[in-house]
A and B are shown apart, each in its own frame.
Chain A
Amino acid sequence: MQDDAATTLTCEIIEEHHVLSLGQICRSCGVRADWVILLVDEGVLEPLKIDETHFQFTARHMRRLHTARRLQRDLGLDIAGIALALELMDEIRELRNRLQALGEPPVRR
């Protein structure tokens, strides 16, 4: 199964503020636009709002949307559950980063 003759792939760095359209992030995650809008309405994603129907997303939103999709698919979370989980995950990430900056060993559960 192992493909030993792996060729070196080059990649590009996607900056956090790399701009994406609603269509692009929908295609990226394989989700429908109305589900993304639900997440926006719940405050899970906070894109720049151009007008009533046009949003401007960034690479950061796309990463969040991928996570939201996995939480929905794998754990059966609804929109409110996804919102709560993502907020707690943000907080944990922030606290872990601070612990790491203090030189504390990472917290496992």
Chain B
Amino acid sequence: MEYKDYYKILGVARDASVDDVKRAYRKLARKYHPDVSAEDDAGDRFREANEAYEVLKDPEKRAAYDQIPPGGARTASPGQRPGFEPPPGWDAGFEFSGGGYTGGDSADFSDFFESLFGRGGVPGGRANQRASGAGASMRGQDHTARILLDIEDSFSGGSRTLNMRMPETDDHGRVVTRERAIKVSIPKGVRAGQQLRLAGQGMPGVGGGPAGDLYLEIGFNPHRHFRVDGQNLILDLPVAPWEAALGATVKTPTPAGPVDLKIPAGSNTGRRLRLKGRGMPGKTAGDLFVVLQVTLPPDANDAASALYQQMADTMSFNPRQNLGV
């Protein structure tokens, strides 16, 4: 088990006041809140900060935690894996009032936390406390999460394995976190911002009530070629100067496979061509917009230079006329 330096996580000194701890936590919570942050590891950082705050805000827990030498007590016997084990009797003399935790989703806390303070023991989890009627059975809450798919997933469907940290109620009515791999089949035609519902995969119910649902909000990973704009896709397509000038039929990639695209004569860089219905799939498929980029051949050889020279000599063209020069 890994020793967790709660002071380092919050970025405060070991003698920081309660106010300093609170301020540091609030700042991190705002920065790494998964709804707000764009960082990839925001969820983990947020959970870490919560856990650290849960310990450091409570004088009893903080004093107990401070008993452990920084870096953790290493077991002396050779051959054993280095790691953290709470020293025997480390919490002697401390009385913990009630359960090991007071707030937050205790189910999200680390093994390190649990080895020190135990697990949260409220049946059904804290979240259900306020709303539960007297002894009534209740449906569990719904859970939401965001998943990132590749654009191709929406075209071809397919399955995805997601690792979810889910609170579950064990046989003794205690809430434990289970790291769960769930395999989800992605329906064809999903679009960014849509939600997928997985019935019964949310929070467990209380008193025999059914579990809630899991909602997955869809987002897309950036693609090498295509950019997503709502239902539509955008592709920058390089064309040779003569293709742009004379017109041509060229191969262009689409997520569903290459197609032939007719470039009208006299097309400039930036011209948008629409391929109807070649965008994101769905009930009404989006369009694919191809933006032409006139591209010079990379290495100009003598023959090419001669052609350019011929153009320079025969064409009177000032592309900067509108700039007044």
Q: Is B truly associated with A?
A: yes
Q: What is the CB-to-nearest-CB distance from A88 to chain B, in angstroms, rounded to a whole number?
A: 9
Give B175-232 interface residues, CB cut-off 8 Å to A.
178-187, 189-190, 193-198, 201, 203, 212-213, 215-217, 222, 227-230
Q: Chain B residues in contact with chain A, CB under 8 A?
A: 26, 29-30, 33-36, 38-39, 46, 50, 127-128, 130-131, 139, 141-142, 144, 159, 161, 178-187, 189-190, 193-198, 201, 203, 212-213, 215-217, 222, 227-230, 234, 236
Q: What is the CB-to-nearest-CB distance from A66 to chain B, in angstroms, rounded to a whole number?
A: 5
- Binary B-proximity of A68-108 (CB < 8 A = 1, otherwise 0): 00110011000000000100010000001100111100111
Give how many A-B residue pairs fall within 8 Å (CB-CB): 116
> Are A3 and B35 in contact, with the CB atoms below 8 A?
no
Q: What is the CB-to-nearest-CB distance from B157 to chain A, in angstroms, rounded to a whole number?
A: 11
Please give me the residue from chain A that is nearest to B181 by CB atom. Answer: A6
Among B130, B144, B180, B189, point to the contact of A63 (Cβ < 8 A): B144
> Are A100 and B180 in contact, with the CB atoms below 8 A?
no
Count A-side interface residues using an 8 Å CB cutoff.
42
> Are B144 and A66 in contact, with the CB atoms below 8 A?
yes
Q: Majority SS of interface residues in chain B? A: mixed
> Are A108 and B227 in contact, with the CB atoms below 8 A?
no
> Are A74 and B179 in contact, with the CB atoms below 8 A?
no
> Are B142 and A10 in contact, with the CB atoms below 8 A?
no
A54 close to B (CB within 8 Å): no
List the B side residues contacting A14 at CB < 8 Å: 194-197, 215
**With A and B bound together, what is the CA distance between A16 and B192 in angstroms?**
11
Q: What is the CB-to-nearest-CB distance from A50 to chain B, in angstroms, rounded to a whole number?
A: 23
